Amino acid sequence: MAQVLVLRVPPDDADAATGVLWGIGINALEERLVDGTIELRTVVGDAQLPGTVEALSARWSVAFETVDAEPAETWKAFAAPVDVDGVVLNPAWLTPPDEGVVVSIDPGAAFGLGDHPTTRLSAGLVARRTRSLVAGGARPRVLDVGCGTGVLAIVAAMVGASDVVATDISSAAVEVAESNVMANRVDDVVAVVDTPLGSIEGAFDIVVANILAPTLIEMADDLRGRCCGTLIVSGLLEEQMTRVEAAYQPWVVVERRVLDGWAALELSADERVDRRPSGQ
Q: Site residues (CB under 6 A) for ligand SAM?
A: 110-112, 116, 119, 122, 145-148, 151-152, 167-170, 173, 197, 210-211, 215, 235
Quick one: 256 or 272, whose CB is closer to ligand SAM? 256
DSSP 71: H
AA letter at 159 = V
252 or 259: whose CB is closer to ligand SAM?
259
Mark residue 160 as left, alpha or beta (left: phi above 0; alpha: psi -120 to 50; beta: remaining).
left
Amino acid found at 77: A
**Beta-carbon count within 10 A of 214 CB:** 19
Q: Shortest approach of ligand SAM to residue 74 CB, angstroms?
A: 21
Give whichever of 56 and 145 is closer to ligand SAM, judged by the CB atom. 145
- Residue 29: phi, psi to the nearest 5? -140, 130
- Smaller CB separation from ligand SAM, 20 or 138: 20
Distance, in Å, from the CA atom of 36 to the CA atom of 240, rounded to the nearest integer, reads 11
Q: How far apart are CA 261 and CA 213, in angstroms?
A: 13
Q: Cα dist. 266→170, 186, 223 in Å?
A: 25, 25, 13
Comparison of 119 and 184: residue with beta carbon closer to ligand SAM: 119
Does residue 122 contact residue 208 with C-beta atoms inside 8 Å? yes
Cβ neighbourhood burial of 168 (10 Å; 0-12, 13-18, 19+): buried
Cβ nearer to ligand SAM, comparing 70 with 218: 218
- Give which of 41, 52, 33, 47 is closest to 74, Cα–Cα: 41
